[in-house]
Chain A
Amino acid sequence: MNVFRLVGDLSHLLAIIMLLKKIWSSRSCAGISGKSQLLFALVFTTRYLDLFTSFISVYNTSMKVIYILCAYATVYLIYVKFKATYDHNHDTFRAEFLVVPVGGLAFLVNHDFTPLEILWTFSIYLESVAIMPQLFMISKTGEAESITSHYLFCLGGYRALYIINWLYRFYSEGFFDLIAIVAGCVQTILYCDFFYLYITKVIYGQKLSLPA
Chain B
Amino acid sequence: EITKEQQALMKVILDAYNRHQIPQDMAKKLLQDQYSAEENFLLLTEMATSQVQVLVEFTKNIPGFLTLDREDQIALLKGSAVEAMFLRSAQVFSRKMPNGHTEVLEERIRKSGISEEFITPMFNFYKSIGELHMMQEEQALLTTITILTPDRPYVKDQQAVERLQETILDVLRKLCVLQHPQEPQYFARLLGRLTELRTLSHYHAEMLTSWRVN
A and B bind? no
Q: Which residues of B contact A (CB under 8 A)?
A: none
